Amino acid sequence: MAEVDLDDIKRRMGGALDALDREFNGLRTGRASASLLEPLTVEAYGSPMPINQVGTVNVAEARLLTVQVWDQQLVKAVEKAIIESELGLNPQTEGSLIRIPIPDLSEERRVELKKVAGRYAEQGKVAVRNVRRDGMDTLKLMERDGEISQDDQKSQADEIQKMTDEHITLIDESLATKEAEIMQV
């Protein structure tokens, strides 16, 4: 009996969840987190590089990040990348060390971040549904071409739908956790 690769579908849906977690890690919650700066790239040596490849990012205190830049010539570029990001941070430079105080979030900013988190979650759901659609299309083709019976097609389609529902539920739970984290004062 031919089968659609359920493990591959599960892996791809899991990839959508992983991407969502990375997006959520980049959202500020008022606490310092090294992952806050992960998405930033710095113009270094003629090409964009992740910030963690030009310096060491540390959480010095609950509301303070530091970046120890390895090459003194890149300090201005790192500072510029932080300022130009949409994170609302104001770095302070002392030699090759950049201190980044994490300000308290205003109520308005919290609501805004909650909306952004909702958009990220919706993108994750769309990605999961796209994987589901690919799997269902493959099943329909296999049935049409006589590779699987209608009953096999139905049972595998049910399995794919079950995986989809599980991943959508995980995304909803992850969003609820992130929203609670954002709204926490």
Q: What percent of the residues of the chain are helix, what percent strand, and what percent coil, each to the nearest 5?
A: 60, 15, 25
Q: Which numeric CATH code is attached to 31-101? A: 3.30.1360.40
pLDDT at 161: 96
Q: What pLDDT, in 10s, does the model give residues 152-163?
A: 999 999 999 999
Tokens of 115: 């909306």
Beta-strand pair 97-101/55-61: unpaired
Q: How far apart are CA 9 and CA 164, in angstroms?
A: 9
Instruction: State which H helix or E strand residue 152 sits in.
Output: helix 150-183
pLDDT tens track, the chain, 185 positions: 467 888 999 999 999 999 998 888 777 666 777 777 877 889 888 899 998 899 999 988 888 899 999 999 999 999 998 888 867 788 999 999 999 988 877 888 788 888 889 999 999 999 999 999 999 999 999 999 999 999 999 999 999 999 999 999 999 999 999 998 888 76
| Burial group, residue 99, by CB count within 10 angstroms (0-12, 13-18, 19+) | middle
Q: What is the pLDDT of residue 111?
A: 85
The residue ranges of every structural domain in the chain are 6-24+106-183, 31-101
- Beta pairing partners, 47: 44
Q: Do 6-24+106-183 and 31-101 come out as alike in CATH topology?
A: no
CATH of domain 6-24+106-183: 1.10.132.20
